[in-house]
Amino acid sequence: MSKTPKSKDPHAKREAENYANPIPSREYIIQLLEQIGEPIGHLALCEQMKLTGEEQIEALRRRLIAMSRDGQIISNRRGLFGLPAHMDLLKGRIQGNKDGYGFFIPEDGSGDMFLGTREMEKLFDGDEVLARHSGFDNRGRREGMVVEILKRRFEQIVGRYYREDGFGILVPDSKRVSHEIMIPDQHAGNAKDGQFVVAEITEYPSRRRKAIAKIVEVLGDSTTPGLEIEVAVRSHDIPHVWPSAVEKETNRFSEEVGEADLQGRADLRDIPFVTIDGEDAKDFDDAVFARRHQEGGWTLFVAIADVSHYVKIGSALDEEAIARATSVYFPGHVIPMLPEKLSNGLCSLKPKVDRLTMVCEMEISASGEMTDYSFYEAVIHSHARMTYNEVSDIVEPAQSDAQKSIQATIKKRHESLIEHFENLYSLFHALRAVRDSGGAMDFDTTETRIVFGEDRKIREIVPVYRNDAHRLIEECMLCANVAAARLLEDSKLPALYRVHEGPNPDKLENLRMFLKELDLHLPGGDKPEPADYQYVLKQMAGRPDRILLQTMLIRSLMQAVYQPENLGHFGLGYEAYAHFTSPIRRYPDLLVHRAIRYLVRNKPGPHVKKHSGAADLAKKVIYPFDLKDMIELGEICSTSERRADAASYSVIDALKCEYMQDRVGDEFVGTVTSVTSFGLFVELNEIYVEGLVHISELSNDYYHFDPVHHSLSGERSQKTYRLGDSVEVKVVRVDLNDKKIDLQMIGLKQSSKKFGKSKAKHTDSKKAQSKKEKYAKKKTDSAKKPKSSKKSKHKKRQANSESKSRKGTTTATKTPGKKASAVSGKPKKKPSARRRKKPNAKPQA
């Protein structure tokens, strides 16, 4: 054991500023424990640090306890303190499964460990724990043992309340929580059997007893309008109630921009900026203007709402913005990152009112290259609020007499702005040509919109196609984001970049084998470039299955994240990329604005302009972040983005199930969007709804699953179903609880094997790639479904998730280089499955 520290506390000055009797910093304690290399007692550690005063000794004891609570260090049964690594312990979180087992996901990225049902009895999905490797199970998987629970994920949990056999049970909505939670009668409140409720956990589970909770809120039953949003918000831990401190801060803001706010800003109110957004948009982050030069080229102005002027670091507003990190968009409803007074008011670039902005002014050459850029604070006065369709009608050639009439009306209404729209349109084509020549991937996507009727019932699901006005704004925003990333790189400030790494090596070979079967080729060897992916996309042009093939390309790529290490953006083909253009709805953009504002005020140069009257801003006031802060904030923002996506998909799935309730028994033509070992996911054409054809609904045969070629093949019949096949199916069941739609196969309409030679115009569904993956396979068999499933007994629902029994067939998984083998015998019941995770429509920008 080392008797004396080999170094001094690097943060002693900070601790002296914060405490009257300073004690060693957490960083120094960890450094010292690393040097010692073995567990040590509290008093021995005081001796090592030469702490003699009673107050210092007691303060160190409290700090050690706090560090143990936070998982930074461990206290063993003898009361000795050490680092987790010295005790063969890892810090991480729990990932649960509805079948009762789970996994330990280490924080350091090392291999996951399997946790059996007995180990999971005391744990919830998302719990932060310390665990160690305990051996291997009979399938050769690494098993773990949880030593200590550091932090519980759930204080409250949402689910469905049931009264059975004289006591109450809460069944969590989350499919990753398998626990039954007991609700004593005295804590059931006014909840009725079958209602969705929020319960506060009063006792956490152990191996000897179930969790106990009390109901604190009743959300309603399945007929309550908007229930699916209320459930999703709570199930995914999305902050949705403004703290009183936030409301107080927000109420202090005036309704309009004041004269004092204009000091130190460029006055651009005479420039005819316009906003271009969707018909139902309420928060307008960005406004654009382009000036065309006679000698060729353009000056492009992108003005972004200056949220950093209003949301101060350390304020209640800022703390809540970090907790939310992003606005969450549901059909017909938004949970904003910022209060409405800011998001739809002071920060929204509404027409005909003054608004504070951060402007990115860029010089674009005649060939579409950005040759220079500068950032500065400004005030603008938007001249018009335009929609994508209006701008498209102005700049794109009208084909029919009706379109010409619409175009003439809109042009007359915005006569003074027509030249500016034409400038933007010509600029857009130049920018797009440069990106295309650089090999940037362009996925042909179609989003959908849910149209509601009365009582929030779905009337229809319609496609929303992107036009050139969408692309025009996209190119302008991409330019500004690239300029922001370049500025941050040059400044050497710790900052968040939007990073999208290249293909997942594990998936790349499978992708190539799959494409080869369809006479397609992905060049680039082990490290394909964006241009190689664009080459494949061009090969797909004209194929009826191109949307699904794009899905396969997307699945081979890594997920985009926020992080301070700039690794470029593969999907967009940029060496550096950051998010600057949406600070109203994304916290990373607000951080980028703060960094730029700090540079504008304190380090003016060729790419940042400080205007007269603007005061210096101390770094600790506007940008007090170091690399460690940025790593943590990047993880928070990336996790919050995934959380928001999951909540949105959950609501969409629930609404689509509700929509399909009255279509049970109807037959549809659809497209196979995913092939798994337990069946086929099929998207129904024209209505953009996906369901599962379980393998037991296929013909009575033994089916072999080939994960490389994404196919299921019958052993006797030789019938094969592949990704992209056009099939005819029947809706046989809709499960509102599990958000599942079950389909029955009627027959194959057209095999995707024929698509390689087909140049027919694509008419199939255009949103397969925006669907979330997973309808994860259950281990438990399903019991017979009762004819009416409005209210199922809890135990029956646990056994079968309201599934009916089906005669099954057997699959065998085929791996590359090995023959697939079928298992003899026919299971009497099929495992049900949860909805698969939907891949992003395109690599996230």
Task: Write out the E strands in 223-273.
Answer: 266-267
Q: How far apart are CA 222 and CA 161, in angstroms?
A: 12
pLDDT at position 662: 92
Average pLDDT rounded to a whole number, residues 103-114: 89
pLDDT at position 753: 64
Write out the DSSP string of 55-120. Answer: HHHHHHHHHHHHHHHTTSSEE-TTS-EE-GGGGT-EEEEEEE-TTS-EEEEETT----EEE-HHHH
pLDDT at position 247: 97
Q: How confident is the model at residue 812 (pLDDT cuts 50, 70, 90)?
A: very low
- In this predicted structure, the answer to whether residue 525 has a pLDDT above a threshold of 60 is yes
Average pLDDT rounded to a whole number, residues 500-522: 86
pLDDT in tens, 616-638: 888 889 999 999 999 999 999 99
Average pLDDT rounded to a whole number, residues 380-399: 93
pLDDT at position 755: 54
Q: How far apart are CA 186 and CA 214, in angstroms?
A: 8
- Please tell me the least confidently modeled range out of 431-435, 554-558, 562-566, 571-575: 554-558
- In this predicted structure, the answer to whether residue 765 has a pLDDT above a threshold of 70 is no
- In this predicted structure, the answer to whether residue 189 has a pLDDT above a threshold of 50 is yes
Alpha-carbon dihedral of residues 191, 790, 173, 246, nearest 10 degrees?
Answer: -60
- In this predicted structure, the answer to whether residue 546 has a pLDDT above a threshold of 90 is no
Q: Are 330 and 374 in contact (CB under 8 A)?
A: no
- In this predicted structure, the answer to whether residue 356 has a pLDDT above a threshold of 70 is yes
Name residue 87's amino acid. Answer: M
> Is 129 exposed, middle or buried, given 0-12, 13-18 or 19+ CB atoms closer than 10 A?
buried
Q: How confident is the model at residue 828 (pLDDT cuts 50, 70, 90)?
A: very low
Name the percent of the chain lying above pLDDT 70: 87
pLDDT in tens, 639-684: 999 999 999 999 999 999 999 999 999 999 999 999 999 999 999 9
Interacting residues of 582 by C-beta distance below 8 A, sequence separation 6+: 285, 286, 304, 589
Average pLDDT rounded to a whole number, residues 755-768: 38
> Is 843 exposed, middle or buried, given 0-12, 13-18 or 19+ CB atoms closer than 10 A?
buried
* Residue 839 structure tokens: 């891949």
Q: What is the chain's mean pLDDT, rounded?
A: 85
Q: How confident is the model at residue 434 (pLDDT cuts 50, 70, 90)?
A: very high
- In this predicted structure, the answer to whether residue 811 has a pLDDT above a threshold of 70 is no
pLDDT in tens, 23-68: 888 989 988 888 888 888 899 898 888 888 888 888 899 899 888 8
Name the percent of the chain lying above pLDDT 90: 57
> Is 499 exposed, middle or buried, given 0-12, 13-18 or 19+ CB atoms closer than 10 A?
buried
Q: Which of 527-536, 796-805, 812-821 ranks highest by mean pLDDT?
A: 527-536
CB contact burial 437-446 (16+ within 10 A = b; e otherwise): eeebbbbebb
pLDDT at position 6: 52
- In this predicted structure, the answer to whether residue 705 has a pLDDT above a threshold of 50 is yes
Q: Residue 575 has what DSSP assignment?
A: S
Three-state DSSP class for residue 448: strand
> Is 731 exposed, middle or buried, given 0-12, 13-18 or 19+ CB atoms closer than 10 A?
buried
Domains with residue ranges and CATH for the chain: 12-85 (1.10.10), 88-151 (2.40.50.140), 156-221 (2.40.50.700), 263-460 (no CATH), 468-642 (no CATH), 667-838 (2.40.50.140)
Q: How far apart are CA 575 and CA 288, in angstroms?
A: 24
pLDDT in tens, 59-77: 899 899 888 888 788 887 6
Q: How far apart are CA 721 and CA 401, in angstroms?
A: 46
Kindly give the pairing relationship between strand 274-277 and strand 128-136: unpaired
Q: How confident is the model at residue 843 (pLDDT cuts 50, 70, 90)?
A: very low
Average pLDDT rounded to a whole number, residues 213-229: 92
